[in-house]
Structure 1
Amino acid sequence: MNKILNHKKILNNNVEMPQFGLGTYKMTNEEESLAAVKHALKIGYRHIDTAHIYKNHKIIANAIKESGVPRNEIFITSKIWITDFKEPEAAFDRILLELETDYIDLCLLHWFAPDWEKAYKLLEEKYLQKKVRAIGVSNFMVDQLQQLLKIAQVKPTVNQIELHPQLPCLEIVDFCNKNNIAITSWQTIMKGEVSKIGEIVEISEKYKVTPAQVALRWAWERGIIIIPKSVNNFRIEENCNIDNFKLSKEEIELINKLSPEVRLGPDPNNINEL
């Protein structure tokens, strides 16, 4: 098996989470998405990242069933959307129903939004009931995590954030590392825009890999969990083929210092952008 796909992160509750997974945002075409998830599982992917707001839980459930890979070998991440924070139990139960499973491996609160405390307490209850193996958040910044840590009975295991070569998130990564909270990155390859960054292109030519592979390897070497999305079989295979080169400390620092910083998604401090 591909060493990258087989590598696990040990979360702060000792649950093992594959460090490399398949992102599924905007994967809603049933035929195309079903084939993509099945291909990923066929070649060794064991981590699927989804969310109720992505509207593809049922596609993923069918892909898992048709893949023949046992459910307990697959790590599924899903998320509760902000409009469900007031009634989080119904949202959690809907996730299980749509994914056709009696437990989820990791459940996150999608953003820092009103009623997040109520929603997080629900996740804590489901964790104690063993309906979810690990809980966490998505798009929480340092001050927001500090608020969470003050009230949490169960420490978040993961914070999933926008992170890429033009948004290295050094402060939040440092904070999470110090507090033993794993980071998952989204938009790691910037929707393919990394191919327009001269420094990334230069490094890719040196190692004879693609700019996307450089961005993924950069995040990987920082200990970040990465979940690149693709419905193309070639890209699904190429994305995880990052074990044949290693960036130097100088190259990692170079990428960390790229400017200007660019945010591709909503600002976590302004949920009105959602």
Structure 2
Amino acid sequence: MSVLNKKIKFNNGEEIPQFGLGTYKLDDEKATYDVIIAALKAGYLHIDTAQIYGNQKLIAKALKDSQVPREQIFITSKIWNSDHGYEETKKAIDRILAELEITYIDLVLIHWPTPKRLECWKALEEAVAAKKIRSIGLSNFQIVHIEELLKNCQIKPVINQFELHPALQRKDLVKYLQDNDIVVESWGTLIRGKCFEVEQVKVLAEKYQKSPAQICLRWAFQQGFVIIPKSSKPHRLIENTEIEDFALTAEDMALLATIPEYRDGPDPDNFDF
């Protein structure tokens, strides 16, 4: 079975395709349109976007032109930090629906744990009740933020998306999420493109005759993490999915664990909100 057909069940009973297409920094009109069309043609069923990416209208056009039925596509979007007030979040949800030209969003995440995160969550819960959103989750939340939310929420988050790759393995956060039945989602899985420079990754790429990108994707996929690699090149979309014909051994995983810890994106504990 293709990795594109593998799904993971949320704690609310909904399912998310484990392998999706990230669209961060895909904002050129033609390139974004072409890559979305190519991804859908290749069998991708999961598209991850966000308000701040500025590409939701382009994604809407590509989805419409692809003629793939809406119910077959899983769409994730996120509420940006400046919209985390209660009323602001309600307006942001309607704006996402309008930009994507859809009647419901499969998954909406709080993009970063700002001081107004609880207000944002309340508005998201109401949007679930109103059937505007099917599932709600988190992005870049640390354990302390999640613990606070769990004490104050009516609906439990289904997922947490955060920087997670062989050079930033976050075993404490991964275990906490798994213990609390919250799905783990990796962004930056390819070490933000730096996987080609990491010796341990290159060793395994040579061993399995795979690309360094495929090694990192396999590392995340076989641990059950949702992954959303992006590419502006259609042939890379296919290559990224070709990770089912090998598996990393315990020895391989131990080798990857020796990579010095490296965070490429912002630190949620020191983010300028």
Deviation of 1:192 after TM superposition, in Å, equals 2.0
* In 2, Cα distance between equivalents of 1:257 and 1:181: 27
* In 2, Cα distance between equivalents of 1:124 and 1:257: 41
Deviation of 1:195 after TM superposition, in Å, equals 1.1
The 8 Å contact of residues 192 and 264 in structure 2, kept in 1 or not, is answered as: no
- Decide which moves more: 41-50 or 247-256: 247-256
* In 2, Cα distance between equivalents of 1:166 and 1:190: 7
* In 1, Cα distance between equivalents of 2:41 and 2:162: 28
Within 5 Å, which residues of 2 pair with 1:104-115?
104-115=105-116
* In 2, Cα distance between equivalents of 1:221 and 1:255: 14
Q: Which residue of 2 aligns with 1:271?
A: 271
Deviation of 1:253 after TM superposition, in Å, equals 2.8
* In 2, Cα distance between equivalents of 1:55 and 1:78: 11
1:115-149 deviation line (CA, Å, top 9, x unaligned): 11010011111112221111001000111111111
Within 5 Å, which residues of 2 pair with 1:231-270?
231-259=232-260, 261-270=261-270
What SS is found at the alignment partner of 1:269? helix
Consecutive unaligned residues in structure 1, runs of 5 or more: none
Q: Partner letter of residue 69 of structure 1?
A: V
Q: Partner letter of residue 8 of structure 1?
A: K
> What is the root-mean-square deviation of aligned Cα atoms in Å?
1.0
* In 1, Cα distance between equivalents of 2:104 and 2:58: 17
Q: Which residue of 2 aligns with 1:126?
A: 127
* In 1, Cα distance between equivalents of 2:158 and 2:256: 26
Q: Which residue of 1 aligns with 2:43?
A: 44
Deviation of 1:36 after TM superposition, in Å, equals 0.2
Consecutive unaligned residues in structure 2, runs of 5 or more: none
* In 2, Cα distance between equivalents of 1:187 and 1:248: 22
Q: Which residue of 2 aligns with 1:215?
A: 216
Within 5 Å, which residues of 2 pair with 1:145-156?
145-156=146-157
What SS is found at the alignment partner of 1:122? helix
Deviation of 1:271 after TM superposition, in Å, equals 1.8
Q: Which residue of 2 aligns with 1:100?
A: 101
Deviation of 1:165 after TM superposition, in Å, equals 1.1
1:192-231 deviation line (CA, Å, top 9, x unaligned): 2111111111111111100100000000111110000111
Q: Partner letter of residue 147 of structure 1?
A: E
Within 5 Å, which residues of 2 pair with 1:35-114?
35-86=34-85, 87-114=88-115
TM-score (norm. length: structure 2) = 0.97
Deviation of 1:234 after TM superposition, in Å, equals 1.1
1:241-270 deviation line (CA, Å, top 9, x unaligned): 1111111122123223422x1111111011
Q: How many residues align?
A: 271
Between the aligned residues of both structures, percent identity stands at 47
Q: Partner letter of residue 7 of structure 1?
A: K
TM-score (norm. length: structure 1) = 0.97
- Decide which moves more: 250-259 or 18-27: 250-259
* In 1, Cα distance between equivalents of 2:194 and 2:267: 19
* In 1, Cα distance between equivalents of 2:64 and 2:239: 25
Q: Which residue of 2 aligns with 1:7?
A: 6
* In 2, Cα distance between equivalents of 1:258 and 1:270: 23
Q: Is 2:210 the partner of 1:170?
A: no
The 8 Å contact of residues 22 and 229 in structure 2, kept in 1 or not, is answered as: yes
Q: Partner letter of residue 188 of structure 1?
A: T
* In 1, Cα distance between equivalents of 2:153 and 2:251: 38
Q: Which residue of 1 aligns with 2:205?
A: 204
What SS is found at the alignment partner of 1:118? helix
